Structure 1
Amino acid sequence: MKMTDYKPGTPCWVDLGTSDVEAAKSFYGAVFGWTAETDDDPKTGGYTMFLLDGAPAAGVMPLMSPEQPVAWSTYVSVTDADATARKIGDAGGTVLVEPMDVSDVGRMAFFQDPTGAAFGVWQPRNFKGAGVVDEPGSLTWDELATRDAEAAKVFYPAVFGWGMDTNPMDGGMDYTEWQLDGKDIGGLMQMDDEHFPKDVPPHWAVYFGTADCQATVDKVGQLGGAVIVPPTPIPVGIFAVCRDPQGGYFSLIQLKEGQVGSA
């Protein structure tokens, strides 16, 4: 699905902070068919756009400090990054990166929610977000995994006006869909010690679409990545969790026919 705009409050972009940008270009290019386009503007710090058939699909940039973990990040579209930052502070969140202009393409900021998960916001100008979603090789779902789902259910609706639809899953756990104007835009899962090692912090997981989850998982292994959760059936399709060679976690989702993602 091609995208030209995002309703405020919708996850609109994901990018990878990594210790080896060139290795990431090679790995993800082979996994998803992405090509890489690096911005020569020194103000962007060598930011690279991953393109899928010429459309922006995701981004990658070098780590800002050696202590920063290799990780994918999710950004939510907003009309005013500064006003959102104030709202996040009032709701108990923490500012990690103050609102700042990114040349003429937009204004961004980065935060930590009260449960410990990091996320960004994007105030679009010339760049609106991912130009393609819900297709193989593109962003399809964003999911908050946290050890305090109840706190998250207070925080995110206060900041973004999200609604919620919570339903039981197999194994006695609940799963919540974040909603905007009645449309599913992401998920929320309570972390437990059975499914999540204690050293795994709260985080926003990113899911990329695939037409064949098993084939993509096989490719990840061949390219030096790791499969953390093998292809597993769920009501909407088949998912898997992988790790790239530098340590960045990402998920795959093969949706059943008729299912759509979060954009």
Structure 2
Amino acid sequence: MTETHARHRPGTPCWVSLMVHGLTATQDFYGSLFGWEFEPGPRQLGPYARALLDGHEVAGIGQLPPDRHLPIAWTPYFASHDVDLTAETVRLCGGTIGVGPLDADEAGRLAIGSDPSGAVFGVWQAARHLGTALTGVPGTPAWNELLTFESASVAKFYETVFAFEEEPVVDADSDSDYVTLRVDGRPVAGIQGVGHALPRDRGPHWLTYFEVADTDEAADRLTDLGGHVLKGPHDTPHGRVATVSDPEGARFCLVQSPR
């Protein structure tokens, strides 16, 4: 179990947030699935709650205005010491900024943008709220991965904006197109080029992996709660993984890390 109280290094994924239509029903779903409890958060973008695990903040869930018909999706936020400068770099590198930069009470300053392929991500400049305060236990974000057409050009965008180091993953057994993004030599996120295997209704998007104690059991519980299993539990070099969606259609992965 890792508690993180220090300010995150720039470029490090520091928070994940989900905007939905039914806030109460979504809280009930994730509360039952991951054991989360909720407390009110900043309301700059409408009703918003922070999810807590054993008293530690791990994620956020907010309510979309009724007139906003955006894809329901978990969005990773990357740490920045200057969100206004990062937002300007996003624009200069061919991305767009859809929200902000704006202050979220005393918690910090945020922007929400998209990369040149259209995948949405957030930028967080911490003040009082440093981000996810617990990792490495069931119910916490474990990894963020971008599913896109091809990795090379979009990896250059993220490297320029967040000063990531890039490490292409060479797998002798496959022609997989995968890049690992690193901060200070440490892997922090991945980019998977899947060509035309992207879901037609989704386009390029970030996918959050949440740690669970038992992937098969969690996938069964998720189905009982009204979620859907999109790709059943299977073993990978990084643990046992299932790709799933919540009742409103937000996709995410369950991962049982190797013990």
Work out whether the TM-score is over 0.5.
yes
Q: How far has the Cα of 1:86 moved from its partner?
A: 1.0
Q: 1:175 aligns with which of 173, 178, 199?
A: 178
1:115/1:148 contact within 8 Å kept: no
- 1:191 equivalent to 2:194? Answer yes
**SS of residue paired to 1:168:** coil
Unaligned runs of at least 5 residues, structure 2: none
Instruction: Determine the C-alpha separation between the residues in 2 that align with 1:173 and 1:42.
Output: 41
1:220-235 paired onto structure 2 within 5 Å: 220-235=222-237
Q: How far has the Cα of 1:71 moved from its partner?
A: 1.3
Amino acid at match of 1:224: G
Amino acid at match of 1:217: A
Instruction: Determine the C-alpha separation between the residues in 2 that align with 1:251 and 1:42.
Output: 28
1:146-225 paired onto structure 2 within 5 Å: 146-169=148-171, 171-194=174-197, 196-225=198-227
- Identical residues among aligned pairs (%): 36
Instruction: Give the structure 1 partner of residue 107 of structure 2.
Output: 105
Unaligned runs of at least 5 residues, structure 1: 258-263
Instruction: Give the structure 1 partner of residue 29 of structure 2.
Output: 27
Instruction: Give the structure 1 partner of residue 252 of structure 2.
Output: 250
- 1:137 equivalent to 2:139? Answer yes
- 1:119 equivalent to 2:99? Answer no
1:16/1:70 contact within 8 Å kept: yes
4+ long deviations beyond 4 Å = 41-44
Q: Deviations over 1:80-103 (max 9, x none)?
A: 000111111111111111200011
Instruction: Give the structure 1 partner of residue 53 of structure 2.
Output: 52
Amino acid at match of 2:233: P
Q: How far has the Cα of 1:171 moved from its partner?
A: 4.2
1:115/1:151 contact within 8 Å kept: no
Instruction: Determine the C-alpha separation between the residues in 2 that align with 1:66 and 1:82.
Output: 25
Higher mean C-alpha displacement, 163-172 vs 121-130 = 163-172
Q: Report the count of equivalent residues.
A: 255
Higher mean C-alpha displacement, 210-219 vs 1-10 = 1-10
RMSD of Structure 2 on Structure 1 (CA): 1.4
